[in-house]
Amino acid sequence: MGISILNERDYYRIVYGGWLGKNIGGTLGAPVEGRKELLDLTFYPKLPDGPLENDDLDLQLVWLHALEQYGPSLTARELGKEWAEHVFFPFDEYGYALANLRRGLQAPIAGWFNNPFTNCMGSPIRSEIWAMAAPGAPEIAAYYAYQDAIVDHAGGEGVYGEMFFAALESAIFVEKDRDRLIEIGMKHIPESCRTAKAMRDLIRWHKEGCSWTEARELILKHHGNDNFTDAPQNIAFTILGWLYGDNFEDALLKSVNCGYDTDCTAATLGAILGMLLGPEQLPERWVKPVGDRVVVSPPIKGFPAPANLDELTRRTIRMGKQVLAAWDSDIIVHPDLPTSWSRKEAAVDPLIALSESPVSSNRYQLPEGSVRNPDLELVIEYGQTGPAIGTNQTKSVFFELVNCSRVAVEGTVSLELPDGWTASEARPVVLEPGQSYRWEAEIRANELVNSYNGLALLWTRNHDVSVWSEQRVAFSLVGAAKWTVWGPDGQQLKDVWFSGNRLDWEKALGAEMEGVYRASTTMHVPTERPFRLIAAANCPVRMKLDGQLVVDCGDTLPLMPAFHRAPPRQTAELTIGEGYHEVEVEVVKGENPLEVYVLPVSVRKTSSPGPCYFFTDVTWGLR
């Protein structure tokens, strides 16, 4: 593999063009976000004084800060720390992931557990930072995109969408042909995922001569989803604008006029075209209204955000140089030599395998902080019910310890538990190089189970006849929710434990019959507070609080279990006092499977930016 040169001025114009295009597209699409009809925009719906704030860029500013904080070795674990410190958005998957991170869970568990929005657009919109920090190295960009996406989309199409865009955008530094760039992006995601299927169909319809509006209708027919943020349809709309557009303006307008998640589709396509064209070739009438400013949403806070695109570009390039060096990419950023590429494409098979790896486990390298070649690797597997446990209940957790070193190790594994809990006794372990040990530990809680509970695995290493060292890996188990449920035939099943916020009558009772299903529990609120209590359902639903009817929705509405945009008729806003409260839910099942979520979140008006956040201290049925 020869050395490739990326001229620093070329690097600057591609990155600057990408960030400028991102601002243009986000400002165009934001005012019409969520509209599902065919639109007819010809320019910004409303000209702002500079760009509109947009989470599409906001979150990437946090990731730039994460790169600066942790360096090129950062993983989903460090990104999760940054999220919990600096991102106060309640939107869909963001809100669920943040709740999990606040309860001590780590990615991919934090992005998967109890999260109904893993197939959405929150992560595909964050791809540019990884492409720009790994210029000309699509496999590196896609790796970072994976680490990013599993923070809030683990196991879903959002992961594949971000990997696709990151690989494509990284390749722009080397390749300018549109079809070849799309092909490179497609190589980095599984052929069987919904995103890849939507892309293959779109490309075929374009080649067959379908008009752009016909292609839009076919996308919705074969790959559409009622949730306007669902990723495969929006990723296809992004590429549709590129395939059918005659120029920057036409491409952007065709993409945004498809509707749905318009700020995301337009912002990503704007970034792609901005990287390809450079800032000097972007039309002045689109550039002038947004200018050079970087506008940050108030719920994104606590770190030094760039003031303008020039600062953002220079900081991005500074970290890109470190990433290229850390990965031995054979790509050198040079201030004088002209850009020349000799780097061959790297294999992507291991990356696809990584993206398809189980999401119900966490992986750790020991000693803590190891970047490469750790001594030991630890995997904690929670199973399909996730990291949840109820009062006086038993939870099986699997621990696997792998000796990655070149010498034999021996010691013991044991568990550190909350007061009054019990677990399997400590186990002796002797591992030759390359060997692994798997331990199924039975953990039993007592009557004192909190909303989230801290535990730890202890690895005590022995040498000769002495304790040599001890390493502690902390993890959490959240309190499961105890409900009493009834089916339409009068069947009663007490003490049903649900691991998350979904009331799963199908799991508890079978729930095949049509009719009325009921559930009841107690909700404990530690302190009096304004409350947003949601019963999000895909069927008629009623909810009572302490005997008073607070939700009465007799219609069948599309399911939307989002903290900030659940249907108003399925939401109650009231002040709830400290203590225990009786909650009763009644739903009417039709021919479709029941999907019902009961959610305790804050109201919109909070003392600082960050509304509708999840109340992680509320417990269910634990009295």
Residue ranges of the annotated binding site for Mg(2+) are 261, 263
332-to-7, 11, 137, 217, 340 alpha-carbon distances in Å: 8, 11, 12, 45, 10
Q: Which two tokens stand for residue 373?
A: 């070649």
Sign of CA dihedral 183, 221, 538, 37: positive
Sign of CA dihedral 497, 502, 503, 504: negative
Query: How far is residue 294's CA from residue 56's CA, in Å, rounded to a whole number?
Result: 12
Q: Which two tokens stand for residue 419?
A: 């007061």
Query: How far is residue 20's CA from residue 454's CA, in Å, rounded to a whole number?
Result: 44
Q: Is the peptide bond before 367 cis (omega within 30 degrees of 0)?
A: yes
Query: How far is residue 596's CA from residue 148's CA, in Å, rounded to a whole number?
Result: 29
- Mode of pairing for the β-strands spanning 466-479 and 388-389: parallel
Query: How far is residue 179's CA from residue 181's CA, in Å, rounded to a whole number?
Result: 5
H/E stretch holding 577: none
Query: How far is residue 196's CA from residue 377's CA, in Å, rounded to a whole number?
Result: 33
Query: How far is residue 121's CA from residue 158's CA, in Å, rounded to a whole number?
Result: 6
Question: Which stretches does DSSP call E strand in 328-451?
Answer: 331-334, 361-366, 376-381, 388-389, 394-403, 409-416, 422-423, 427-431, 436-444
Q: Exposed (0-12), middle (13-18) or buried (19+): which is 327, by Cβ within 10 Å? A: middle
Count of residues for the chain?
623
Query: How far is residue 508's CA from residue 527's CA, in Å, rounded to a whole number?
Result: 32
Q: Which two tokens stand for residue 80?
A: 């999760």
Q: Which two tokens stand for residue 615?
A: 């109340």
495: left (phi over 0), alpha (psi -120 to 50) or beta: left
Provide the H-helix boundaries in 380-449. none
User: Looking at this protein, which amino acid is placed at residue 608?
Assistant: S
Q: State the angle between helix axes of 138-153 and 92-102 in degrees (0 to 180), rounded to the nearest 10.
A: 80
Q: Which two tokens stand for residue 42?
A: 């010809």
358-to-77, 105, 347, 572 alpha-carbon distances in Å: 16, 16, 21, 37
H/E stretch holding 277: helix 262-277
Place of tokens 């939107």: 91
Q: Which residues contact 61 (CB under 8 A, 6 or more apart)?
A: 294, 296, 300, 303, 305, 306, 312
Known binding-site residues equal: 261, 263
H/E stretch holding 313: helix 309-326
515: left (phi over 0), alpha (psi -120 to 50) or beta: left
Q: What is the DSSP string of 530-559?
A: EEEEEEEESS-EEEEETTEEEEEE-S----
